[in-house]
Structure 1
Amino acid sequence: MNRRSFIKKMLGAVVAATALSFIPSGEQALAATKWRNGGLHIRENNFKFAEMPTKRKATNRIIIHHAGLPKDRDMTAAEIHRLHRDNNGWAGIGYHYVIRKDGLIERGRGWNMVGAHAYKNNDDSVGIVLTGNFNIGSPTTSQIKSLENLLTTLCGVYRLIPDELSVIGHRDVNSTACPGDMLYDMLPQIRKRVLKRMSLDLPED
């Protein structure tokens, strides 16, 4: 049995032993927003979109981004919403979750909506953006803690293995520098910590 098959088997056992396994798909929003795992809290925004995004039929991947502005600065989900809507001509914010410099997690698109964050890779993915430019700066400790909390919750809700196939950087699917070298280089360790938080062990190769 290879590593991924082993972890997938273990994940099924772990999730089956939790309340998450009994949550109907129509109620996963409640789990994703109110499950307080490690102090997780999501600020709701209820943005208005130029046109309503379609519902996502499957969730197979979580794609990590940075805001990537010229300066390594914080920005609100509302700022990103206006930028994507007014400058990019999109329906509204393309990400599902925004993680601020102080660790605050804000809602972007609806939890079950198709995003607009990774070209030709939106139909089955969740987009998480950390504010800042991580080619010139580093994520804050609070951002990484919130990212790990959020990934633990989402991987549980969607029964994903937090590995290099399911938790990826934007550059893994598109030609881009996103999510910045400093955050991208941290992803292997972030995945390992999320695995441990989910009580999943990595077998030897």
Structure 2
Amino acid sequence: MKKVLILVCALAGFVGCQQPAATSDAPLIPEGISYLSREEWGANAPVLPMRPHKLTRLTIHHTGVPQLFDRSLTDKLRNLQKFSQEDSPLADGRMKPAWADVPYHLYVDVHGAVGEARDLNYAGDSNTSYDPAGHLLVVVEGNFEKEAITEAQLKTLEKLVPALTKRFGIPADSLGAHKDFAETSCPGTGLYGELPRFRQLVKGH
């Protein structure tokens, strides 16, 4: 059984080298945004098989924990992957089962840099009841029920969100947030309030 799992993961890694079908030649990450690839932050391979999917929505999350200005994006992504790939306790006392990889596809840190998380070809994971298959998951560092989104994060999202929706043919009305699909406060009031403006940017892109 162990050998079969290793083979499945290896095949998943090979397929993951392919890029999701894009509907335009718009760049994945717009010029001027600092980007850290999985290779650059030293990502481990997925530890479980993942579900292939086709991107039809863009859904924004927040990390739900305080912003960390003095830690590198590399450290944040490595710690998030470690948490994700193990059975880990949640803030509400539940235990989260191990996931294959980081649950989100892209991570926007407190300084506006973007980190590559899960391969875009595969559906993410969630602690809530919604099925994230088809969702391009962008997580923004912070707890926006308690703190403000930084100017650098806003500037990045203003460029990144329209670029992603254009590249994958995602319409403005398919831009949403975690709380649109599950009973949760994510991505926090401060960030959720920016979504109407992001939709307008998508329409004008």
Place the TM-score, normalised by the shorter chain, in its bin.
0.7 to 0.9
108, 115, 124: which one aligns with 1:115: 124
CA displacement at 1:38 relative to structure 2: 4.5
% of aligned pairs identical? Answer: 24
Q: What amino acid maps onto 2:68 in structure 1?
A: R
**Counterpart position of 1:154:** 164
Deviation larger for 174-183 or 116-125: 116-125
Taking the aligned partners of 1:81 and 1:25, their CA distance within structure 2 comes to 21
Do the aligned residues in 1 keep the contact of 2:19 with 2:120 (CA within 8 Å)? no
Which of 26, 30, 33 aligns to 1:37? It is 30
SS of equivalent residue, structure 1 residue 137: coil
Alpha carbons of structure 1 residues 175 and 36: separation in structure 2 relative to 1, 3 Å: closer
Distance 1:170 1:35, change over 3 A: closer
Q: CA deviation at 1:139?
A: 0.9
Partner of 1:68: 64
When the two structures are superposed, what TM-score results if normalisation uses the length of structure 2? 0.72
Q: Secondary structure at the match of 1:80?
A: helix
Gaps of 5+ in 1: 1-23, 199-205
In the TM superposition, what is the alpha-carbon distance from 1:145 to its structure 2 partner? 1.6
- Root-mean-square deviation (Å): 2.5
Whichever residue aligns with residue 179 of structure 1, its letter is P
1:96 lines up with 2:105 in the alignment: yes
Secondary structure of the equivalent of 1:64? strand
Equivalent residue for 2:80? 80
Task: Determine if contact 1:102/1:140 at 8 Å carries over to the other structure.
Answer: yes
| Cα shift readout 1:140-182 (whole Å, capped 9, x = no counterpart) | 111112122221221112111123xx11010000000100011
Q: In 2, distance between residues paired with 1:119 and 1:140? A: 29
Are 2:202 and 1:194 aligned? yes
| Superposed CA offset, 1:70-120 (max 9, x none) | x34356222211111122311121000000000000011002111114643
Unpaired stretches in structure 2, ≥5 consecutive residues: 1-17, 89-95
- Return closer, same or farther for 1:144/1:168 CA change in 2, 3 Å cut-off: same
Residue deviations 1:116-138 (CA, integer Å, cap 9, x gap): 14643211111110001000001
After the TM superposition, which of the residue ranges 152-161 and 60-69 deviates more from structure 2? Answer: 152-161
Q: How many residues align?
A: 168
- Secondary structure of the residue that 1:146 maps to in structure 2? helix
